[in-house]
Amino acid sequence: MRERVSPRLRRALVIAGVVFRFLLFFGGLGFALWFAFIHFPDAWNPFVPPRIEDKPNMVTGLKLRGLTGEYDICVSVVRASGTKYRRDAIPSKSEGCGMPQGLTLEQSRISYGGGIQLTCPATAALLMWERHVVAPAAEEHLGSEVVRIRHYGTYACRNVNHSESGRRSGHARGDAIDIAGFDLADGRKVSVLK
C-alpha cells in the first residue's frame, strides 16, 4: 500500500525541484560562459580587439564597431597589420562633418593611389575587406592578383548624393569610400560599373 505524502511535504519537494533546476541551469550557464571566456579563441571573443589578419566571422562587425571611440586601441590594430598610416585629424566648422580621430592610409598590401582619409574603424574594416574579400576573390575568379584599388574618394563634407539638403553622407564623417575598380597584376582593369 502506498503511503500518503502530506501537502506540505509535496509543496516542499516541488519547490526543492524548481530550485535545483534553477541552480543547475544557471550554474551550467555560468560555467559555460566562464569556460568560453577563458578558452575562447581571440578571433571569436567579442571583448578582444580584432586583428586584421583574422578571418572575419560572426563577431567581426561587433569588434569593428567596438573600435569606435577607442582611437589608441584602433590605431594599434592597424599598426599590427603592418600598414603604413598617419594619424590625421580633420577639423570642420560645418555641422556633421569632420574627423577628429582619423587616419590617412599611406601604404597597404594593395595600392589605392593615395588620398585615403578615413576614421580608424573604417580603415580597419577596409583593410579586412582588402585582405579577406578582394584579394581572395580576384585570385579565385580572375586568376590574378589585385595591385591597385581605384576609388572616387573618401572624406568629403557633403550630403548624401551631393544634394543641397538632407542627411550627411558617410563621407562627411570619414566612414565611406567609393570604389571605382581594380587593376590586376596581369594588366587587366576591372570596373565596378561592368
The separation between the first and the last C-alpha atoms of the chain, rounded to the nearest angstrom, is: 86
Strand partners, 170: none
pLDDT for the residue numbered 1: 56
SS3 category, 189: strand
- CB count in 10 Å sphere of residue 40: 15
pLDDT digits (tens, 9 = 90+) for 25-40: 999 998 888 877 777 7
| pTM score, whole prediction | 0.79
pLDDT digits (tens, 9 = 90+) for 87-146: 988 888 888 888 888 999 999 999 998 879 999 999 999 999 999 999 999 999 999 999
- Containing 181, the helix (H) or strand (E) segment is strand 178-184
What is the residue extent of each domain of the chain?
A: 7-39, 60-191
Confidence of residue 66 (pLDDT cuts 50, 70, 90): very high
Task: Compute the mean pLDDT over every residue in the chain, rounded to the nearest whole number.
Answer: 91
Amino acid type, 153:
G
Confidence of residue 194 (pLDDT cuts 50, 70, 90): low
**CB under 8 Å to 103, separation ≥6 — which residues?**
75, 78, 85, 86, 87, 88, 117, 118, 119, 120, 123
pLDDT for the residue numbered 127: 98
Q: Annotate 76-94 with DSSP letters as a single string.
A: HHHHHTT-EEEEEEE--SS
pLDDT for the residue numbered 91: 83
Query: Mean pLDDT across the stretch 56-70?
Result: 95
pLDDT for the residue numbered 115: 79
